Structure 1
Amino acid sequence: MAPLHLIALIAALLSAGLMAGLFTGYSYSVMPGLKILDDRAWIAALQHINRVIINGRFMTAFLGSVVFALAAVILGCFLDDKSALPWTIAGLVCNLVMFIGTMAKNVPLNDRLEAAGDPAAIEDPAALRGDVEEPWIKWNHVRGIASLLGLAALAWALYTTGLNA
């Protein structure tokens, strides 16, 4: 059981790290970089990014951050030494905040941008951008912070596991 727990914990840590890097990268570079675009170009850029991000690499890390953390929690319940379990649970909770925030907040905003259609044909692109940009960025910060905290908790869980091996 211990080797499977270790594998699940490492996979959860790597997945959380990928998500933390992605979402914080959006916070400190992508969205500030896109801010200079006019409204139609901003909408077009977000639409394109939202289409290409749904791929196997993203989905593996995105879903893996929750699935692998859950597996590590379940497997950790069967270990004699449960000292890493609270940190693993904390990592899972943070990854769930990231996952649920993405699905409940960012994805509907992405869908709204996509449903608007061709940016050149949008009657009031400034209004659409005004409705989407601020909440999207706010929730991206939330999921970035949640991912970073999840990464830290899982790293500490792995460290604790190594101390007691």
Structure 2
Amino acid sequence: AGDDRTYVTAMQHINKSIENGMFGLVFVGAFVATGVAAWLQHKAGRRQAALWAGAATLLYVVALMVTMGVNIPLNNQLAAAGDPSQISDFAAVRAKFEGTWVATNMVRTLLCTAGLGALARALVLHGRSER
């Protein structure tokens, strides 16, 4: 947890460091790859595997919606608080950010974990259809 200054400073640095092309590629690439997997399974006539991969895609889309609708705006608000050397009330900045950000991050984690489970099920079904 740490003190308020450390928390705000660390989160600002984390948010700034992930704003790069590689992170964006992985972030969007996971969605694209999952959707392509669902489409390929459907095209190959593997209905059950396609449904599970489609479910994974849908779960990831919901996670992206939460990210874009809640977490990114909160990250932007945190950045707008300014340079840590200029912030006078770290407790207030943290209080506006932390509770909602942590709660929605847990929702995103659950959605992505469920999506991974759905992809694992699709892979099992794909493997069975190959035999």
Q: What's the RMSD between the two structures over aligned residues?
A: 1.4
**Further displaced range: 131-140 or 94-103:** 94-103
> Separation in 2 of the partners of 1:94 and 1:101?
11
Query: Which structure would you say has the larger RCO, counting Cα contacts within 8 Å and 6 or more residues apart?
Result: 1
Name the SS of the counterpart of 1:80 in structure 2.
Answer: coil
> TM-score of the superposition, structure 2-length normalised?
0.91
1:51 paired with 2:16, answer yes
Aligned to 1:69: 34
Asked whether the equivalents of residues 39 and 50 of structure 2 are also in contact (C-alpha less than 8 Å), the reply is: no
Say yes or no: does 1:110 pair with 2:80.
no
Runs of 4+ off more than 4 Å = none
- Kept in 2, the 8 Å contact 1:40–1:120? The answer is no
Q: What is the CA distance between 1:57 and its match in structure 2?
A: 3.6
- Aligned residues between the structures: 130
Question: Alpha-carbon deviations, 1:80-108, whole Å to 9, x = none?
Answer: 23220111111111111221111111111
Is 2:99 the counterpart of 1:134? yes
Give percent identity, aligned residues only: 39
Residues 90 and 153 in structure 1, CA contact (< 8 A), matched pair in contact too: yes
Q: 1:89 aligns with which of 30, 54, 60?
A: 54
Aligned to 1:13: none
For residues 17 and 73 of structure 2, what CA distance do their matches in structure 1 show? 16
1:40 aligned onto 2:5:
yes
1:123 alignment partner AA: S
5+ residue gaps, structure 1 = 1-34
- Deviation of 1:143 after TM superposition, in Å, equals 0.6
Consecutive unaligned residues of structure 2, counting only runs of 5 or more, are: none
Deviation at 1:124, TM superposition (A): 2.3
Q: Distance in 2 between matches of 1:156 and 1:48?
A: 37
